[in-house]
Every structure is written in C-alpha cells, then in structure tokens.
Chain A
Amino acid sequence: MIEYYRRLWAAGQAMYEAHAFDRTPTGPIVAFELFLLAFSGFTLYWLWKNEKKGAQRFFLAAGGLFIHQFFTSPMWHNYKLGWWSYLYQDISWISTFAWASLIMWTLTLVDRFRANWPDWKRFPVYLAVLAPAALVYEAILLKLGVSGYSPEVQQAISGRTLLGTPVETFVYVPVFMALVVSFTKYWSFYIMSKPVIPLRHRPWVRSFAITLVSVLLFEITVEPMVQNVGFPAWSYIFHDITLVLTGAWIVLTWLAINLVDKFFIHFSLRGKFLAYLGVVFAGVLPAEIWLIASGHRVYGPSTVSAFTGLHVPWTLVPVEVVFGIPLYFALILSFVKYWEIILDNK
C-alpha cells in the first residue's frame, strides 16, 4: 500500500516537472497581482456584508470560472505569476477570483439598478458591462506578458487586433461570460431556494433552440482544442465543426434535459442537474471513446501536452477528457436551464 502511494507520488512529481513553465514574476506583475487580490478581497467582504448569500455566490462564480479555465486551459498560457499563484498547471486562483469579482460586481449592480427588469432583459446588460471590462483585463495581461495563446489558437484567429487583443476575443468573451453568468445564476437559484414553477407541458421546440445556440456557441469558442476528422464534407459548417457531432451533442443534451424534467419533475434543481449530467455523460463517454479510437477525434498538440498521460483503463481516452465531459456540459446545461427558468418564471 505504502509502495503504491510512493509510486503515485513519484508519478505526480514527474507530471509536475513535465509541465514546467516560466513562473518567475516581474515587479509590475506582482503589483498587478496585489491589486487583484485587494480587489477580490474587498469584493468578497462587501458581498458577505451586503448581499444575501453573497459570499456563497462569489464562490459559485469562481467555481464556474474554474470549470471554464480548467476545460479551456490548453488554448492559452498564463505564465510568470509566481509559484504562489497557480492552482493546477497554469491556472491561477488569483485570476479566477479577479474574474469572479468582475462578474459579481456586474450581477449585483445590474440587479440593483434594474431590479424591475425581467431576468431575460438583464442578461444582455450583464454581458454588455462584462465584455469591455474583460477585454481591458485581457489587454493588461497580454501587455504584462502573462497571457499568450497556443499555436492552434494563433492559427485559428485572423491576426487582426482591437485594443491590443485579437478581434476574436469580442466573440469569445461574451460567450464565455454568458456561460459562466448562467452557471452562477442557476446555482444561485438553488442556494437561495428560488421557487421554480413546474411545467405541465414541456416546451420541446424552445428547449431545442436554446440548446442549439448554447452548444454551437461553445463549440465555436473551443474549436482549436480538437480536430474532428473524417466526417462527410457536407457536414462541416465552420473550420472543423461538424453538424454530425455537434448535432449529436445538441440532441443528447436536449433529450437529457427534457426527459429528466418530464420523468423527474419532482427533483430539486440540484437533483435534476445531476441527472442531466449523468444522462449526458453516459451518452458522451462511449461516443468519445469510439471517436478517439477510430481517429475521428484528434486532440491538438497543446491539448495533448497538457494531459498528464493517464488513460481510462483499456481505452485510449485521457483522464482529462473524462473530467472534461461533465465540465463542458455543466456550463452548457446551466445556460440552457437558466434560460428556461427565467422564461418560465417571468
């Protein structure tokens, strides 16, 4: 037993060293980190004192961000922040808290100043406030030499810049923010025991439309991470995004939501969410195993280099993919369900 854990320890050490990168910070980077820490600390304190379940909601936002950062981390670099800053590989907890603070200020201020607006009307306002703030934040990180993009991302982007950031960021940031805001809001409903009206008749068509938008937008933003190879030529709609695969994810997500909502109508928001995830995971994992084994799904070099090298036993599937599936779908499901809830509970 001890020998087993000693070997596990050695494997962990080897993995850490295999993913070495420049962690040495410069003076301006340290100053910026201190500013972010002060900003996050103040936000957390203010929320704790002034907002109902404010601290819990702050950590919800941070959780949503971490899921997104963990899932998409092979797409960019986040170097030179100092050894104290990293949580997993080059994901920084200081950066996660700073993003969470930005999101929580936006949600709180918009909710306070537009309290009589319905949720669906407030949502674009969140994005309109968050997107420019996020772009400024990204521009500062690029200027400091902290942020950088993987070769696959550099190949996928046009090369045009605006305010010092690639123009694609103007699509990426709102999509990323829409997912994280939805995740935060959905789970806020749960922790604040918001009454969510049960539906006698499921709106299947509306649900399909929301799922389609959600999956398609997320697929576009994470497209550089993986290549979909060998699908019929007609099915490719943008770069290597294929209608066959994306369509399958859309249908699976849509069915999971509607079947769980129909047959487990009495479940709480948490219970339903876990059931959606379970159904989706049970469908996607075998598909992913087959797609990787048959060469239809090829992960990019940056994604592969971020893998620890551990595989699911008897398969070629990296463990990160197994963890990635529920993380990817957790954000998509939150988005779809958040929109359904706010449209049904006006």
Chain B
Amino acid sequence: MTIMTLGFCLLFILAAFAIQVVLPIFLLYKLVRFLMRKFGGGQPEPKAAAGEGLKAALERSRAESGDASGAVTAAPQSEFASPAREAIFVKLKKEGRLDRLALVYYVEDALKSGLTPQAVAEALRAKGWPEADIAAVVPG
C-alpha cells in the first residue's frame, strides 16, 4: 500500500463518517434549535425598552457600544453581542419587518466601512426605500 492509497482510504473513511454521522447530528441539532426558538423553549429573549421606537433603540445600542459617531464597532451582522441591539433584531423579526431588519444590517455595515450617514441615506433613497424607513434606521 503506497502512502497515497493510505491517504485516499483515510479520506474516504473520514468522508463517510462525516456524511453518515456528523452531518445527521448537525442537522438534528439545527432542527432542535429551530424548534426551540419557534416554540419558545429556548433562552429568554432580550427585551426592548417598553414603547421605544426603532430609531431610539438603535441610538441607544450605538451609545452602549461606545461609538459616538454612530458607526458600530462590533463585527459582522451575525455577531451582535449587545443585548440592546439583539432586542432590536428580535423585535423586528417578531413584527415581520425583515426588510427593515435588512436595512439596519446594511446601515451598520455601511457606517462601519466608513460611509457617512448622509451617503447611506442617499444610497437607500436611490434604491427606492421610503423616507420613513430611511429615517428610522440612519443615524442623525
């Protein structure tokens, strides 16, 4: 048996193991997590302050993350650690405002990349987003 045959056999067994064992467990884990989230068995959701509007909640979360300029310092959209920010996303998801949630993500990323709030608002306007949505998510 050459070293390449050995390598191929090992890879073959690893691939079989990954497909037959790891993948089903991973999919099962994802399904359980999805069901727990869906039917409320998961961790308690962070709460937004009562009656707080989206704009105010965003401003508060930006202030909490310590960035006065409005640019969010935390990394990509999936890694929101701040409870205030997490609460905004949960609220928007519950309300079914996924389009507005997408806008919030975009604004966070755009500000982080160095665009000014004015440039971000202009870009959104150019894509036909209503002024109410822009005003709610763009700082200033």
Residues of A within 8 A of B (CB): 5, 8-9, 11-13, 15-17, 23, 83, 86, 88, 193-201, 263-266, 268, 344
Contacts and interface: CB of A to CB of B under 8 A. Distances in A.
Contacts of A200: 99, 127-129
A227 to B, nearest CB: 29
Contact of B16 (A8, A83, A194, A266): A8
Contact of A197 (B1, B3, B5, B123): B123
A292 B26 CA distance: 30
A339 B132 CA distance: 29
Given A16-B9, A195-B115, 8 more contacts: A5-B13, A8-B13, A13-B8, A15-B12, A193-B109, A196-B106, A198-B127, A200-B99
Interface in B61-107: 75-78, 93, 98-99, 101-103, 105-106
A12 to B, nearest CB: 3
Contacts of B128: 200-201
Contacts of B55: none
B50 interface: no
B4 to A, nearest CB: 5
A193 B112 contact: yes
A230 B12 CA distance: 36
A175 B38 CA distance: 44
Interface of B: 1-5, 8-9, 11-13, 16, 75-78, 93, 98-99, 101-103, 105-106, 109-110, 112-113, 115, 123-124, 127-129
Nearest to A16: B8
B103 to A, nearest CB: 6
A198 B12 contact: no
B68 to A, nearest CB: 21
Given A12-B9, A195-B115, A83 B3 contact: yes
Given A8-B13, A12-B9, A17-B5, A197 B106 contact: yes
A340 to B, nearest CB: 13
A346 to B, nearest CB: 10
Nearest to A201: B128
A266 B108 CA distance: 13
A198 B99 contact: yes
A273 to B, nearest CB: 14
B98 A264 contact: yes
Nearest to B110: A195
Contact of A13 (B5, B16, B109, B115): B5
A265 B16 contact: no
Contacts of A266: 93, 98-99, 101-102, 105
Max chain A Cβ within 10 angstroms of own Cβ: one of B4, B11, B110, B113: B4
A193 B78 contact: no
A88 B12 CA distance: 10
A162 to B, nearest CB: 36
The 10 residue pairs across chains A and B that have the minimum distance between CB atoms: A12-B12, A195-B109, A12-B9, A195-B110, A198-B102, A266-B101, A266-B102, A265-B102, A16-B8, A266-B98
Contacts of B127: 197-200, 344
A83 B4 contact: yes
B133 to A, nearest CB: 9
A15 B8 CA distance: 9
